[in-house]
Amino acid sequence: MKRLIVAAGGGGDAVACAMLHAALYGNEGQAVILTYAWERLVVDPVPGPRGAADFTGLEQITPAVRAVPPGASPLAPAGSTLPRLAAELPHSFALIDPYQGARGITRQLEELVDHLAPESIDLLDVGGDILARGDEPTLKSPLADALTLAACCQVGSPIRLLVAGPGLDGELPFDDLRGMLGPIVHTFTPTDVQPISSVLEWHPSEATGMLAATARGVRGTCEIRDSGLLVPLTDESPRVHEVDLDDAVSRNQLARAVMASESLDQVEQHSREVCGYSEIDYERNKAAWLKEQPHAVPNRATILAKLDQFQAEARKRGVSHTTFRRIAEALNLNNSQLDALRQLLLDSRPKQCAAPLWHIPAEA
């Protein structure tokens, strides 16, 4: 028995797919998780998603679909968490290649369905920005989710759309999503998090990290991203809702616009027209800026002093938790320093660890 789970936005959605499989399907064996290789710049300094041509060591599943095994490697200077995920989790990770647009991803899906004959197909989005219209002022990264949605709705097999942790990506508030969410399929628990615990110790996903933390009982306000978005961690956060796929497509203007797209360039242009921007343009600009920034390795005392300053300012904003990625960016550290930062903080202040988040106490 095979389950096919599509990670709508890539990155942390792929980790959440593994948690979903454990929660809903238990010990049925491995799933095939179809996902983008699209990471934040803290992991992959090259803007935009990686396609099959950006890796070595991929394995062919169908003519259009490649798996990312543990031995695969992104071509420098690109980075990807997928090979390490494949090494640590008992699932097969298949690569969404967006460079032929929605039509190409539809073809990938159809080939996988024919090849696997899966028992079920789930499309999972953490946060809920897959339900965006496209003009919301808080929306930051609609492209991947809209493109995946456009492809899934054109596949001739039933696909169940699931939204986990509505509002956790910091893009659409839960109150804006509430009316679109269908029945609760599952509420994640500490037991559900266990299969991905080792991954959470190093994976930089903020939304999936918060999803796992709330499943473990963490509540409060978490500050994320380089812009310092504030995300409420509530009893709603660990829940998984089913959403009508057709309703999502009817709402998502960008998904409808890219239905017939045959290249990522076309998708980007539609995003600029519908949303007013392409997040890949944002990544291009940020990557150029980062190249100009000095990245000297600060010493322990300097890091802890800067951390104290960051925490003092965060308290004034009502922040109770943050992510290691947010701390790294606030301290102007790059990805090569992220693991060292995490270890330093865990060694020096272990009581503040609310894995996989960092707790900022109300009093210094």
DSSP 281-319: HHHHHHHHHHHTS------HHHHHHHHHHHHHHHHHTT-
In a domain, 335, yes or no: yes
Are 179 and 241 spatial neighbours (Cβ–Cβ below 8 Å)? no
Task: Write down the residue that tokens 């990506």 correspond to.
Answer: 169
In a domain, 132, yes or no: yes
pLDDT digits (tens, 9 = 90+) for 301-339: 999 999 999 999 999 999 999 999 899 888 888 767 888
In a domain, 280, yes or no: no
DSSP state of 141: -
Are 199 and 211 spatial neighbours (Cβ–Cβ below 8 Å)? no
Low-confidence stretches of the chain (pLDDT beneath 70):
1, 294-295, 335, 364
Q: Which of 223, 239, 257 is the last residue of a domain?
A: 257
Largest Cα separation within the chain, whole Å, is: 58
How many domains in the chain?
2
Are 364 and 308 spatial neighbours (Cβ–Cβ below 8 Å)? yes
How many CB atoms within 10 Å of residue 291?
Answer: 9
Is the domain of 250 the same as that of 309? Answer: no
Is the domain of 206 the same as that of 346? Answer: no
Give the whole-angstrom CA distance, residue 74 versus residue 53.
9
In a domain, 73, yes or no: yes
Is the domain of 230 the same as that of 327? Answer: no
In a domain, 195, yes or no: yes
Q: What is the pLDDT of residue 332?
A: 82
Q: What is the pLDDT of residue 1?
A: 62
Give the whole-angstrom CA distance, residue 125 versus residue 211.
12
Residue-range definition of the domain harbouring residue 343? 300-359
Tokens found for residue 10: 């890539």
Is the domain of 103 the same as that of 25? Answer: yes
Q: What is the pLDDT of residue 364?
A: 63
Is the domain of 108 the same as that of 195? Answer: yes
Is the domain of 224 the same as that of 327? Answer: no
Q: Which of 196, 226, 257 is the last residue of a domain?
A: 257
Is the domain of 238 the same as that of 347? Answer: no
Is the domain of 64 the same as that of 175? Answer: yes
Q: What is the DSSP string of 104-133?
A: HHHHHHHHHHHHH--SEEEEEEESSGGG--
Is the domain of 315 the same as that of 178? Answer: no
Is the domain of 240 the same as that of 346? Answer: no
In a domain, 278, yes or no: no
Q: Which of 257, 273, 288 is the last residue of a domain?
A: 257
Give the whole-angstrom CA distance, residue 168 versus residue 166.
6
The CA radius of gyration of the chain, in Å to the nearest whole number, is 19
Long-range Cβ contacts of 256-263 (<8 Å, 24+ apart): 256/150, 258/101, 258/102, 258/146, 258/147, 258/150, 259/102, 259/150, 259/154, 260/101, 260/102, 260/103, 261/101, 261/102, 261/103, 261/147, 261/150, 262/100, 262/101, 262/103, 262/104, 263/99, 263/100, 263/101
Give the whole-angstrom CA distance, residue 234 versus residue 221.
9
Q: What is the pLDDT of residue 290?
A: 80
In a domain, 309, yes or no: yes
In a domain, 277, yes or no: no
Is the domain of 193 the same as that of 321? Answer: no
Is the domain of 253 the same as that of 315? Answer: no
The model's pTM: 0.96
